[in-house]
Amino acid sequence: MDIVTGNIGWIEVVCGPMFSGKSEELIRRLRRAKIARKRVQVFKPVLDDRYSADEIVSHSDCRMPSQVIKDAREVLNLLDWRTQVIGFDEANFLGPNLVEIAQQLADSGKQVLIAGLDTDYLGRPFPPMPELLALAESITKTLAICMRCGNPAKHTQRLVESEELIVVGATGMYEARCRRCFEPGIPKQEYLEFAKPGRDRHTV
Ligand code: ADP
Ligand code: ZN
């Protein structure tokens, strides 16, 4: 006889650098929940408009409809309380309130699936991911392929000059790098010199 467990909630986190397959993995898990006929809602931050406003999209073009929020607290208004599984993509851009909201949802019996960058462009832990990792029932760390040497990559290398924490973009602005090839912060001067407008160009 099956044990009736009731509506037990939990938090699952998928973390790693850009291009490591976090969105793919999140979408895979959410699709399986749908196959199991669970009610699913997916949220992503408003600033990630790389591909689509109302879908989460992986670099390999897996897609799933999603709702856009500025702050994790908005979920409380947007949530259909019949929803059993709640996905968050790009969770590192959802702010510190995501911790309290994820806990609240899990405590009330929801399955909370969270994908996000665990480190920023300087290699520092990216809030609120560290706290979520500590509170989660399940953690998966995905690795990408280092674009310099082909080894497993845990870092997101920024290729454009900016000291802002958040520069939204994808191919061309960031690449995956391993521990050895990662250069924290702004790229090397030679790269920037090359990129400067007017340099090495003939003026008319
Ligand atoms: P994330 O959400 O972690 O940024 P995605 O799920 O959007 O990752 O994309 C993962 C896909 O990106 C891979 O399946 C692969 O097709 C592609 N990809 C592009 N560059 C890389 C790389 N350097 N390492 C691994 N996968 C890469
Ligand atoms: Zn490398």
Q: Two tokens at 57?
A: 């999209």
Give pTM, 2 decimals: 0.86
On whether residue 153 sits in a domain, the answer given is: no
Print the domain residue range for 34: 10-143
Is the CB of residue 24 below 6 angstroms from any atom belonging to ligand 1?
A: yes
* Catalytic-residue membership of 183: no
Q: Is there a domain that residue 167 lies in? A: no
Q: What's the total number of domains in the chain? A: 1
Q: Which ligand is nearest to the CA of 183?
A: 2
Q: Which of 55, 90, 131, 190 is catalytic?
A: 90
Query: Ligand 1: does its nearest atom lie under 6 Å from the Cβ of 94?
Result: no
Q: What CATH number does residue 23 fall under?
A: 3.40.50.300
**pLDDT tens-digit series, residues 139-178:** 999 999 999 999 999 999 999 877 677 666 555 789 999 9
